Amino acid sequence: MYWTYLRRELSGRKKQTAIVAIGLAIAIALVIIVNALSAGVRDAQAQALESVYGVGTDVTVTGAQAEPGESGQGGRGPQFDFDEDGGQTDDDGTTSLSQSRLMTDFLRGTLDASTLGTVTAIDGVAAASGALSLTNTTFDGELPQRPDADAEGGTGGQEMPQQGEGGGMGGGFGGGSFNVDSFTVLGIDPADTSVGPLSAVELTDGRALEAADAGSEVAVLDASYATSSELGVGDTIDVGGTEFEIVGIVGSTSSDADTASNVYIPLDVAQELSGAGDVISTVYVQAESSDQIAAVQSALEEALPDATVSSQSDLASTVSGSLSSAGSLITSLGTWLSIIVLAVAVALAVLFTISGISRRTREIGTLKAIGWSNGRVVGQVAGESVVQALIGGVAGVALGLIGVLAINLVSPTISSAPSADSGPGGMGQGGMGGGGMGGGFGSQLGQTATDIVLSAPLSLWIVLAALLLAMAGGLVAGAFGGWRAARLSPAEALRAVA
Amino acid sequence: MTMIDETVRGAAETPAVPAYRLVGVTKTYRQKGRVVQALKGVDVEIAQGDFVTIQGPTGGGKSTLLQLLGALDKPTEGHVMIGDTDLAKASASHLEKVRAQEIGFVFQAFNLIPTLTAAENVDMGLEPLGLGKSERASRVAEALAHVGLAERADHRPGELSGGQQQRVAIARAIAKRPRVLLADEPTGNLDESMRDEILVVLEELNAEGLTLLVVTHDSAVARRARRRLRLDKGTIRDITR
């Protein structure tokens, strides 16, 4: 009889049942979609981070942010010096110039190589690996003969403009053509790639760097970069004016992301070629367990006060672009929207239940008069609310699944990039101006922006949690309604409608 | 004032335990900030198997008395005995039990649940008894047959006439096989022919031994009763001729 009565009551007030169920359904669908999208963004962030920092990196140690002029190598951008024999002059007087420079990140200080030992000695550190992040910039172009070249003698070197000085060569003649090309180079310890950027890559061709490669001029290339530069295993690449043999090609484990750098070379060779000395730019640290990360971070900050120590959560904040925007949007707007809609739906359910009790005063009074216990009446009212909420919950789950399916079918692509103001490891100093300089520096320097397909993974847990949430909403409404029904004295209930 | 139904006692020859015995019953309640004394020291006995009507002007205390008799409320003072149970001292759960097992209610507006069929409405009265499914089905069928509505078991209240609805309400009340049947203006919403229809049913039930207490304004109903009480300004008197 319980279920018959319950079913008849709900079907007898279809409009009210539908409003409450639709409200809850929208709220539950939003909860499911927001949760799935959040999980998708988390996955995308993890994917973006793994491509940059590798799997299992809990903490990174980098040189402190440097003011221009403070860091090594003069604290300036790429600088090209051509002496008298720096180019070849043709018969028509046009001089061809070409130079390749390998430099550390000029806005971030480096760390002494001994830092790796300091890090390894910290309690709770399971593994650590050092890397030197460099940028190789190649200047390549032709300089026509100046009309008054003879008068001025044309002696001495010609210093090229600094990055950011803007386009044009000044003066009163033109016709020069310059190309500036750059790619990122990461010097890594070839004997230990278990922690750091190469821990998250897969070998697509050739071989990885090995311990025996120390001191050798061999390089491994990022698959995307190798494709765009039309390079393959067995070819050579000019790094800092030295030809390196390409021994392997690596790609990100995600088809949508690039690896941390364009080119990987042995650390000792990178240190020597860049002229930076016995330094590294980043130490990738793996903690013994996740609950020790905070302690390791604190210990590292204490042991290395001049360095920047970043945890995974700090690293996550370095992922910017629309991925970051999506994350913020979902976290703030999506979550609040879910909460507000859920609160409104539950409030509606409560109000409808209470007004339903008022409307059913005679019915409840009659039930009590014919011997129904208070508990039985409350159970009936609460049961109606819970079933009503369950209808909304099931509809919400269906709606949510459709929404998630639609997102996965559309598969929106969002971009991720290390942000311009941090970027452990010296990544991401893009956008440096240089208009009018041929290819320009702007898009070339180390910005490893990647497009990531955003998916909305759905777990059974989310579905169950959503249903439980709906039931909880029904219970809240039922509790209010039941409380109201329990307070109705049968005599007063019947007197009120007499 | 104690009023014993001598007619019934005489007919039975041996003194029986009264269906109700009210001693010094007073009921006051607050209404719009003022105290209303609905019943003032009412003493009355209702014999088992009697057919009693309670008449009186509106606001005279009839409904209040019916609620006390129906274990829906407790007196402010005095005792309301149903059999050996003093309802004035009973716990809320005991009152629920008394309502579920001893008392059948019939209301002026029928008070049927509009979404349920006639049979389901009757079944609602059996819900608190915890009977088995087949026993309930059998009692529902029997009660509906008793009021002549076996053919209308699957009809909803909206599909029945007023008289038929009241008969369903009577079936709901008697399905539990109560000791007494309390009816509050059972013919108040019915026309003359339907009123007679209901009175016939009630008289049949009384003839089978069911104690009937009927609150009514209708003198035609009161004339059919064996005993007539009048309640005015909270005091009761026997007006049986």
Phi-psi region of A354 (alpha: psi -120 to 50; beta: other; left: phi over 0): alpha
Assess contact for A140 and A181: CB atoms under 8 A: yes
What integer pLDDT is reported at residue A19 of this predicted model?
Answer: 85
CA distance A20 to chain B (A): 20
> Sorting pLDDT into bands at 50, 70 and 90, what band is B188?
confident
Mean pLDDT, residues A373-388:
89
End-to-end CA distance of chain B: 18
Assess contact for A269 and A216: CB atoms under 8 A: yes
Residues of B in contact with A369 (CB under 8 A): 70, 72, 99, 105
End-to-end CA distance of chain A: 27
Question: Which one of B32, B107, B134, B174 makes the best mutation probe of the A interface by having the most chain A beta carbons within 10 Å?
Answer: B107
Q: What is the pLDDT of residues A186-205, one digit of tens each?
A: 998 888 777 777 777 788 88
What integer pLDDT is reported at residue A201 of this predicted model?
Answer: 79
Helix (H, G, I), strand (E, B) or coil at B84: coil
Residues of B in contact with A11 (CB under 8 A): 115
Residues of A in contact with B95 (CB under 8 A): none
B67, B108, B172 ranked by CB distance to A370: nearest: B172
Residues of A in contact with B93 (CB under 8 A): 373
What integer pLDDT is reported at residue A211 of this predicted model?
Answer: 87
Residue A260: pLDDT over 60: yes
Determine whether the interchain pair A376/B127 forms a contact, defined as Cβ–Cβ distance below 8 Å.
yes
Return d(Cα A337, Cα A341) in angstroms, integer.
Answer: 6
Mean pLDDT, residues A69-77:
50
Per DSSP bridges, beta strands B20-31 and B34-46 are antiparallel
Query: In what helix (H) or strand (E) does residue B120 lie, and over which residues does it extend?
Result: helix B118-126
The pTM of the full predicted model, rounded to 2 decimals, is 0.61
CA distance A352 to chain B (A): 18
Determine whether the interchain pair A373/B113 forms a contact, defined as Cβ–Cβ distance below 8 Å.
no
Per DSSP bridges, beta strands A125-143 and A95-104 are antiparallel
User: Residues of B near A (CB-CB distance < 8 A)?
Assistant: 63, 67, 70, 72-73, 92-93, 96-97, 99-101, 103-105, 107-109, 111, 113-116, 120, 123-125, 127-129, 172-173, 176
Residues of B in contact with A1 (CB under 8 A): 120, 123-124, 127
- Which residue type is seen at A35? N
Phi-psi region of A118 (alpha: psi -120 to 50; beta: other; left: phi over 0): alpha
Assess contact for A191 and A212: CB atoms under 8 A: no
Q: What is the pLDDT of residues B56-65, one digit of tens each?
A: 998 888 888 9
CA distance A480 to chain B (A): 21
Residue A130: pLDDT over 80: yes
Residue B74: partners with Cβ closer than 8 Å, 6 or more residues away: B68, B80, B87, B88, B90, B95
Per DSSP bridges, beta strands B77-82 and B20-31 are antiparallel
> Sorting pLDDT into bands at 50, 70 and 90, what band is A362?
confident
Determine whether the interchain pair B67/A498 forms a contact, defined as Cβ–Cβ distance below 8 Å.
no
Return d(Cα B176, Cα B170) in angstroms, integer.
Answer: 11
> Sorting pLDDT into bands at 50, 70 and 90, what band is A256?
low
Residues of B in contact with A374 (CB under 8 A): 92, 96
CA distance A18 to chain B (A): 17
Q: What is the pLDDT of residues B214-235, one digit of tens each?
A: 999 888 888 889 999 999 988 9
Instruction: State the Rg of chain A over Cα.
Output: 33
Instruction: Give the residue on B whose Cα is nearest the Cα of A366.
Output: B111
Q: What does the mean pLDDT of chain B come to?
A: 88
- Which candidate, B83, B109, B52, places its Cα nearest to that of B231? B52
Assess contact for A307 and A63: CB atoms under 8 A: yes
Place of tokens 């409380």: A483
- Exposure of A392 in the CB half-sphere (CA atoms within 13 A): 36
Assess contact for A284 and A195: CB atoms under 8 A: yes
Task: Assess: ipTM above 0.95.
Answer: no
> Sorting pLDDT into bands at 50, 70 and 90, what band is A66?
low
Residues of A in contact with B38 (CB under 8 A): none
Instruction: Give the residue on B whose Cα is nearest the Cα of A360.
Output: B113
Residues of A in contact with B96 (CB under 8 A): 368, 371-374
> Sorting pLDDT into bands at 50, 70 and 90, what band is B51?
very high
Instruction: Give the residue on A whose Cα is nearest the Cα of B172.
Output: A370
A12, A369, A494 ranked by CB distance to B99: nearest: A369
Residues of A in contact with B70 (CB under 8 A): 369
Determine whether the interchain pair B63/A495 forms a contact, defined as Cβ–Cβ distance below 8 Å.
yes
Determine whether the interchain pair B128/A371 forms a contact, defined as Cβ–Cβ distance below 8 Å.
yes
Residues of B in contact with A498 (CB under 8 A): 63, 108
- Which residue type is seen at B181? L
DSSP state of B141: H
Determine whether the interchain pair B123/A1 forms a contact, defined as Cβ–Cβ distance below 8 Å.
yes
SS3 per residue for chain A: CHHHHHHHHHHHCHHHHHHHHHHHHHHHHHHHHHHHHHHHHHHHHHHHHHHHHCCCCCEEEEECECCCCCCCHHHCCCCCEECCCCEEECCCCCEEEEEEEEEECCCECCEECCHHHHHHCCCCEEEEEEEEEEEEEEEEEEECCCCCHHHHCCCCCEECCCCCCCCCCCCCCCCCEEEEEEEEEEEECCCCCCCCHHHHEEEEEECCCCHHHCCCCEEEEEHHHHHHCCCCCCCEEEECCEEEEEEEEEEECCCCCCCCCCEEEEHHHHHHHHCCCCEECEEEEEECCHHHHHHHHHHHHHHCCCEEEEEHHHHHCCEEHHHHHHHHHHHHHHHHHHHHHHHHHHHHHHHHHHHHHHHCHHHHHHHHHCCCCHHHHHHHHHHHHHHHHHHHHHHHHHHHHHHHHHHHHHCCEEEEEECCCCCCCCCCCCCCCCCCCCCCCCCCCCCCCEEEECCCCCCHHHHHHHHHHHHHHHHHHHHHHHHHHHHCCHHHHHHHHC
Question: Which one of A370, A378, A380, A489 makes the best mutation probe of the B interface by having the most chain B beta carbons within 10 Å?
Answer: A370
Assess contact for A110 and A282: CB atoms under 8 A: no
- Which candidate, B78, B3, B9, places its Cα nearest to that of B38? B78
Mean pLDDT, residues A87-112:
74
- Which candidate, A489, A485, A490, places its Cα nearest to that of A384? A485
